[in-house]
Structures are given as structure tokens and as C-alpha cells.
A and B are shown apart, each in its own frame.
Chain A
Amino acid sequence: MLKPRYAWLGDKLLWAVLLLAALVFGLPHSEALFASLFPQLERPVYRQEPFTQLLWQHVLLVGASGAAAVLVGTLAGIWVTRPAGRAFRPVLETLVSMGQTLPPVAVLALAVPAVGFGELPALIALALYGLLPVVQGTITGLQAVAAPVLQAANGMGLSPWQRLRQVEGPLAMPVWLSGVRTSVIINIGTAAIASTVGAKTLGSPIIVGLSGFNTAYVLQGAVVVGMLAVVVDMGFERLARRVDWAH
């Protein structure tokens, strides 16, 4: 066992973050490595935009679309589990799962004629695409709260709002969070494809590499996207431990 003083050395999340940073800062200086791996390529390292910038834009796109998906999805999920919105639950569930069935590329392609090329269609497509896991997580989490607990809350005089905020919310939180986690992780991958409609993301080296037969670019983009997904997933895992009331 490590001594407490060096406990941070055992922190996997920290190492993953350091590795991601090493990748985005180190790739521009890895000319020699990729030149030896891919001797046939004239420019073996992607330099159209710095990887730091691509990472930042990727995170921004996933963050903004994720925030929208979480906000809308959570509110919708809460609404259809209240007496007022209960009737709309089947409709909502059908709608979001239909949206999920469409391949992400198709969603992107449909967004372009509506709003043009650039960041906006990517944002819309990702937000729509991330909705389903959030809605499902919200509904499943709220639905799983035991009936006696709700009965006790009502019987003791908690208002509907107090019940939601103090009892149902915290109890549904772990399942809700796993929905958000799925949504965000899926969209880290989907955001890579979003560079096909003109959004600058970590997918750009991949797309450029694929169309120009530059395998080194594809590799570089894929490794950074993969590492980002690993970091975010580990972050969610840590968060999940904090909101887990079942200890």
C-alpha cells in the first residue's frame, strides 16, 4: 500500500488527465516518431490546427450540447412522471427513442439543410442525440423510488416540490447520472463525426486523414478522442461514487 502522503500517485483519473495533456502538447513534437512509422507520408503530423485548440472545441461542443440535452431531458423526464404530464410519457419515450435510432450521420445531414454548415448543426444534432439516455435515466431513476417512501413523504406533509427536491431527486440521482454519463460518452464519439459538417473538432484530423489517405492523421485524432472519452468516463465514475446514497 502507498503511504497517504503519496496517495495521489494511485489516482487513475490524475494519470489519465496527464496522459491526455501529454498527447495534445506532445503530438506537434512527434514528427520523428510518425515519420518513422509512416515513412511514405510527406506530412506525418496534423498541423492545420493545434491539437489543444481542437480538444478545446471538441469539449466545448460536447459540453454545450450535453448541457442542453441534460437540461431538456431532465425536465422532460420529471414532467412525464408528474400527474400533470403522465399522459405524455409514451409519446415522449417513442419520440426520443426514434431519434436515437437514426444514425448520427443522418441526424447531422438532416440538420445541415435546416441551419447550414458549421458548429450549429453539430450542436443541434448532438443535443438531440444525447437526449434519450438522459430522459431514460431520469424516468427510470424516478420510477424506481419505492412506493412506501413516496407514501411516507406525502403522509408527513412534504409538498410535491419538497418531495421532488429532497426525496425523489437524491434517490433518482445515481440512475440519472448514469444516463448523463452514457449521453456524454456517446457524444464525445459522435462529435468527431460532426467535423463532416464543418465543425472543428478532434474528428477533423480523422476526416482529413481518411479523405487524403493519411493514416497518421486518423491515428492521431482517434487516440486523442479515445483518451478524452477515458478521462471523462473516469470523472463520471468518481462523481457516481459521490452521489450514491446506497453506500
Chain B
Amino acid sequence: MIEFANVSKTYGHTADAPKALDDVSLRIGSGELVVLIGGSGSGKSTLLKMINRMEQPDTGTVALDGQDMVHMPLRELRLRMGYVIQSVGLFPHWTVARNIGVVPTMLGWKPERIAARVTELLSLFDLDPTTYGPRYPHQLSGGQQQRVGVARALAGDPEVLLMDEPFGALDPLIRTALQDEVKRIHQASGKTIVMVTHDIDEALRLGTQIVLLEQGRIVQVGSPLALLSQPANKQVADFIGRSDVGIKLLSLQSAGSLARVEAPQSTPFLPASASLREAVSTLALHGCQSLNLLDDTGAHAGVLHATDLFNRRHTGSLPLSDDQGQHA
């Protein structure tokens, strides 16, 4: 558990310097995937950096598991936390493998264990270990470098993973794949993940909690659903985008959640784990009224009717399925 209590911070000492953080209080529970979102300069990076004490609050406290972080030894604290910085920052004179192994090395792991971990992480991020392990960072594309940056942060199996716009330079396809990967890692490991983004779709897709910042202040904290259905004020609504709130809401819910138990019909198929947003797209594409849903094994899992989609009466408490994953 990470707890911010009345944290304020101003860079520089001139009287007119704006507050990077202004009386921020926030509680991040263990195992959450918290997404910090807001416009440029709203204080997202500053907030994130206070968690591993890259920045110190001017006033207020940041506590880890109930203990004020000021009293913790800095190195141990940072070794317990993975950190992906905004501009990647790989060590240019080291191979990819050595970059990823840096924290395990400091933790005193045996060389074989480090090598195994490096291989595991490279494979996880879709980089062939024998090809990419011996390469130098400048021999990788921007997207590959970012993936190595995330792998490096995960290498020491940290309790907390901090990521500052980790997927900034990626094309949409790889971005979506990596978002899925982060989500999978989060669900499988139960790590606390705090991630900065300025992309509302990324926030809605990944976050268990979303923290919306504006000029150093927290405007709203809540689940993706709460943010979409009950925006705290006009700014939040503007930030989320008014025109397609309905579509975004659909992306939070799986097609399977509205399935009727019926025999298969002569209509197109869709995985039951796909979102309602994809269901709408498929319905529109084929110009039909219903879809056959398939479970993970490809077996029939009911029928989704278009009428159910639009007759849904939502009062802000939609039935949310656990699986919001999207499949191409």
C-alpha cells in the first residue's frame, strides 16, 4: 500500500513557480493497477517519481506499507521497485541482456539465474533472446527499446512497478499487444503497478483505478466505469470526450456478459471475451442482428443480440465482467 498524504511540491524557488503537485492525497492499494492521467505538465511524472523517491515532497508524506518513506534506506527501496522512465534510458554501452540483468546483478543473483531471467523476459516481450540479447540499444527500433525498458524494470521481480508513459513511441498494433501483456502480468503476479499515460483509451483499458490530474491537483479517482458514467465535473467529462462515452462504456464490458443461452444461428462469430465495442463493430460490418459467441476453446457460448445492446438500461452500475481483454 502506497499512501500520499497532503503532498505538495514546487520545482524551483521563484515566487511565481507553479505547483507541480498541490495538496495531493491518494491511496494505492496493493495489487492495483493505477493509471495516472492528465494533460502535459499536470504533475503525473512528479507523482510517480515520489514513489521511488526520485523526487521529494516539499510538504506532506508518502508512506509505503504504513511507513514514511523518508526513513527508508534509498537503495533497498529502489531495488524493490521497477522503474520505466519516460525516455527509456537504456545503458548504451551495454548489451540488451546486460541492461535487463542490471537489477538482478545488484541483488546478487547467480549468473545462470540472471541469464534464465533475461531469456524469459525477452521471450515474454516477443524479442528472440539469441538475436536481441547480444545487441546494443542503438541497434533496436524505438519500440523494441521501450520493450527492453519494461523488461529491465521487471527483471528483479519488484513488488511495485512504476512506468512513465512506457508505450509512448509504439505503433498502435504493438501498443495494444503490450497493453495486453502488462495486463496479463498484472493479473498473474498481483504486483502493484502505477503507470502514467496521456491516452484515455489506454487508461480505460488497463486501469483498475484511474487518477485524473490537472495542474497538480487530483480531479477524480475512480474505476474506469465510474469515470465514464459519473465524471466529477465538466473538465473530466471533456477529458474523457463526450461524443463517444457510449462507445467507451461498451469497451469496458465483454460480449459474453450479454449472451443469451440459445442454439447457434447462421450469423457471424465473435469470441465471448471480446468487448461490446467490437461486437457493435462486427454487427455493423455484417449488417446483422445477432452474433454467435465462442469461448476460449472455440465452443459455442451463446448468442448476442443487438437489441440487448441498446435496450441495456445503465444506471452507472453496469455488470462488469472480469475479462475486458480485446482480441483481434
Q: What is A's interface to B at a CB cutoff of 8 Å?
A: 146, 148-159, 162, 167, 170-171, 245-247
Contact A146 B138 (CB under 8 A): no
Instruction: Bits for B83-97, please: 1 = Cβ < 8 Å to A, else 0.
Output: 101111111110000
Contact A245 B92 (CB under 8 A): yes
> Are B90 and A156 in contact (CB-based, < 8 A)?
no
Q: Is the interface of A mostly helix, strand, loop or mixed?
A: helix
Query: What are 25 A-B interface contacts by the 8 Å CB criterion?
Result: A146-B89, A146-B92, A149-B89, A149-B90, A149-B91, A151-B85, A152-B88, A152-B89, A152-B90, A153-B89, A153-B91, A155-B52, A155-B85, A156-B83, A156-B103, A157-B75, A157-B76, A157-B78, A157-B103, A158-B102, A162-B106, A167-B93, A245-B92, A245-B93, A247-B136
- Docked-complex contact A152 and B106, CB < 8 angstroms: no
Closest chain-B Cβ to A48's Cβ sits at a distance in Å of: 50
Compute how far the CA of A245 lies from the CA of B136 in the bound complex, rounded to whole angstroms: 9
Is B140 located at the chain interface by the 8 A CB criterion?
no
The CA of A154 and the CA of B75, in the complex, are separated in Å by 9
- A-B interface contact total, Cβ < 8 Å: 60
In Å, the complex CA distance between A171 and B138 comes to: 14
CA distance A14 to B102 in the complex (A): 40
Q: Which chain B residues lie closer than 8 Å to A157 at the CB level?
A: 74-79, 103, 106
Q: Does B245 contact A (CB under 8 A)?
A: no
Say yes or no: B92 contacts A171, CB within 8 Å.
Answer: yes
* Cβ-closest chain B residue relative to A245: B93
B1 within 8 A of A: no
CA distance A158 to B103 in the complex (A): 8
B54 at the interface (CB under 8 A from A): yes
Query: What residues of chain B lie closer than 8 Å to A245, measured between beta carbons?
Result: 92-93
The docked-state distance in angstroms from the alpha carbon of A246 to that of B89 is: 15
A158 and B87 CA atoms in complex are apart in Å by: 18
| A127 CB, min distance to chain B CBs, angstroms | 30
Asked if B79 and A151 make an inter-chain contact with CB atoms under 8 angstroms apart, the answer reads no
B54, B86, B87 — most chain A CB neighbours (10 Å) = B87
State whether A148 and B54 are in contact (beta carbons under 8 Å apart), knowing that A155-B83, A156-B78, A245-B93 are contacts in the complex.
no
Q: CB distance A152 to B91 under 8 Å?
A: yes
Contact between B88 and A148 (Cβ–Cβ < 8 Å)?
A: yes
Partner of A246, one of B75, B92, B103: B92
- In the assembled complex, the Cα of A245 lies from the Cα of B91 at a distance in Å of 10
Highest count of chain B CB atoms <10 Å: which of A146, A150, A156, A162:
A156
Residues of B within 8 A of A155 (CB): 52, 54, 78, 83, 85
Asked whether, in the complex, the Cβ of A154 is within 8 Å of the Cβ of B106, the reply is no
B161-181 CB mask vs A (1 if < 8 Å, else 0) is 000000000000000000000
In the complex, which residues of chain A have a beta carbon less than 8 angstroms from the beta carbon of B91?
A: 149, 152-153, 167
B residues in contact (CB < 8 Å) with A: 52, 54, 74-79, 83, 85-93, 102-103, 106, 136, 138, 152-153
Q: In the bound complex, what is the Cα–Cα distance between A82 and B152 (angstroms)? A: 27
How far is B175's CA from A89's CA once the two chains are assembled, in angstroms?
45
Per the bound structure, the CA–CA distance linking A246 and B92 in Å amounts to: 8
Taken together as a complex, chains A and B put the C-alpha atoms of A151 and B89 apart, in Å, by 7
5 new A-B contacts at CB < 8 Å, known A148-B88, A151-B85, A156-B106:
A149-B89, A152-B88, A154-B78, A156-B102, A246-B138
Contacts of B153 in A (CB 8 A): 156
* Complex-state Cα separation, A246 to B93, whole angstroms: 7
Which residue of chain A lies nearest to B78 when distances are taken between CB atoms in the complex? A157
| Measured CA separation A155–B90 after assembly (Å) | 12
Which residue from chain B places its CB closest to the CB of A244 in the assembled complex?
B93
Which chain A positions have C-beta within 8 A of B74?
Answer: 157
Closest-CB distance, A170 to chain B (whole angstroms): 5
Q: Is the CB of A151 within 8 A of B54?
A: yes
Nearest-neighbour CB distance to chain B for A158, whole angstroms, equals 7
C-alpha gap A170/B103 in the complex (Å): 18
Taking the closest CB of chain A, its distance from the CB of B137, in whole angstroms, is: 10
- In the complex, A82 Cα to B102 Cα: how many Å? 23
* A14, B251: Cα distance in complex, Å: 71
Q: What CA separation (Å) do A194 and B153 show in the bound complex?
A: 56
Residues of B with C-beta under 8 A to A246: 92, 138
Measured between alpha carbons, how far is A157 from B90 in the docked complex, in Å? 14
State the CA gap A167–B75 with chains docked (Å): 17
* Min C-beta distance of A15 to chain B, whole Å: 32
Q: Is there contact, CB below 8 Å, between B93 and A158?
A: no
Contacts of B52 in A (CB 8 A): 155
Q: A170-B93, A171-B93 are in contact. Are A148 and B75 (CB under 8 A)?
A: no
What distance in Å separates the Cβ of B64 from its nearest Cβ neighbour in chain A? 15
Cα-based distance from A200 to B109 in the complex (angstroms): 56
Q: How far is the CA of A212 from the CA of B26 in the complex (A)?
A: 87
**Bound-state Cα–Cα, A157 to B73, Å:** 11
Complex contacts, A167 vs chain B, CB 8 Å: 91, 93
- A39–chain B nearest beta-carbon distance, Å: 60
CA distance A132 to B102 in the complex (A): 35
A146 to B89, CA, bound (A): 8
Q: Across the interface, which residues of B come within 8 angstroms of A159, CB to CB?
A: 75
Which of B79, B83, B89, B152 has most chain A Cβ within 10 Å? B89
Cβ–Cβ < 8 Å partners of B78 in chain A: 154-157
A153 to B87, CA, bound (A): 13
